[in-house]
Amino acid sequence: MTFEGALEYGKGLLEKAGVLDYQLDAWYLMEYACKICKSEYYLCAKEEMEDEAFQEYTLLLKKRGERVPLQYITGVQEFMGLPFKVNSHVLIPRQDTETLVEEALKVLEPGMEVLDLCTGSGCIIISLLKHARVKITGTASDISKQALLIAKENAKHNQVEAELVRSDLFQNITGKYDIIISNPPYIPTGEIPGLMPEVRDFEPLEALDGAEDGLFFYREIARMGRKFLKSNGYLYFEIGHDQGRRVAFLMEENGFRNIKVIKDLAGNDRVAFGNLPAVK
């Protein structure tokens, strides 16, 4: 089989399996299996592929055809221009979440202490630490021990230092922070069966399920957050596209002010933030 033939075969197989980006994914898996870049591919497109490489490619295609997310096969996802290792214990970082990080970057001041709740792969706190123009300190927590192992590797790989705490929300958190940031699970339980198989069957359910109305974690974090925020402290949330009004209301009910809801690049509400009034 030539490289070109194998790629066509891959595209066909993934298309039949119902993979949305079947052309791109067939290429990414070839890149991964054969360790070639696009320009190398064009040079060798008509050449025969080694049997071993073709077998490896077929194996990866089969997994993807079973709807295992591409990133769980290749083991990485880029986020805010940085590489993040992922496995099935953590949510795959989404481009939408970059809007959250970019908003929080705007308010960072020297010496600020930031807490990232439900950190998963660590993508939020690590990219904040990496892209901050001033020196800040970061703490991140997750209920999952396996997720924290991945976050630890990601911090090391991206050369930032974050304190990692295993905690069910604020349970094991001490001290006060300038910013609490979180992309908590926010999908209503009833909507989970209707998600794409990649998400529904392979991403960790505990990273997705926001209980009955999807707002469980916002309620808890908004209610308890003020105890862990300094005077004037900020709360930043990623939210679902239809949750802006309700999350803003929850924040207001819990004493947050200057609440704003920001859209992502696709034009959907994606971030809600506000701050506690300064204590005089």
Nearer to ligand GLN, 4 or 213 (CB): 213
**Binding string, residues 16-55; x marks residues near ligand GLN by CB under 6 A:** ----------------------------------------
Q: Does 144 bind ligand GLN (CB under 6 A)?
A: no
Nearer to ligand GLN, 108 or 207 (CB): 207
Which of the stretches 131-139, 178-186, 192-200, 248-256 binds ligand GLN when contact is defined by CB under 6 A?
178-186
The DSSP annotation for the chain comes to -BHHHHHHHHHHHHHHTT-TTHHHHHHHHHHHHHT--HHHHHHHTTSBPPHHHHHHHHHHHHHHHTT--HHHHH-EEEETTEEEE--TTSPPP-THHHHHHHHHHTT--TT-EEEEES-TTSHHHHHHHHH-SS--EEEEEES-HHHHHHHHHHHHHTT--EEEEE-STTTT--S-EEEEEE----B-GGGGGGS-HIIIIIS-GGGTB--TTS-HHHHHHHHHHGGGEEEEEEEEEE--TT-HHHHHHHHHHTT-EEEEEEE-TTSSEEEEEEEPPPP-
Q: Does 65 bind ligand GLN (CB under 6 A)?
A: no
To ligand GLN, the closest distance from the beta carbon of 183 in angstroms equals 4
Among 10, 65, 93, 233, binds ligand GLN (CB under 6 A): 93
Window 119-138: residues binding ligand GLN (CB under 6 A): 119-121, 123-124
Q: Does 77 bind ligand GLN (CB under 6 A)?
A: no
Cβ contacts of 244 within 8 Å, gap of 6 or more: 261, 269, 272
CA 210/CA 218 separation, integer angstroms? 9
Among 34, 115, 118, 229, binds ligand GLN (CB under 6 A): 118
Which of the stretches 24-32, 182-190, 223-231, 250-258 binds ligand GLN when contact is defined by CB under 6 A?
182-190
Which of the stretches 61-69, 101-109, 155-163, 181-189 binds ligand GLN when contact is defined by CB under 6 A?
181-189
CB-hemisphere CA count at 13 Å for 173? 26
To ligand GLN, the closest distance from the beta carbon of 140 in angstroms equals 8
Which of the stretches 158-166, 179-187, 251-259, 262-270 binds ligand GLN when contact is defined by CB under 6 A?
179-187
Nearer to ligand GLN, 120 or 225 (CB): 120
Q: Which of these, 37, 42, 130, lies nearest to 79 by C-alpha position? A: 130
Among 14, 29, 207, 272, binds ligand GLN (CB under 6 A): 207
Nearer to ligand GLN, 64 or 89 (CB): 89
CA 235/CA 244 separation, integer angstroms? 14
Among 65, 69, 138, 184, binds ligand GLN (CB under 6 A): 184
Which of the stretches 41-49, 70-78, 91-99, 239-247 binds ligand GLN when contact is defined by CB under 6 A?
91-99
CA 152/CA 170 separation, integer angstroms? 19
Binding site for ligand GLN (CB under 6 A): 91, 93, 97, 118-121, 123-124, 183-185, 207
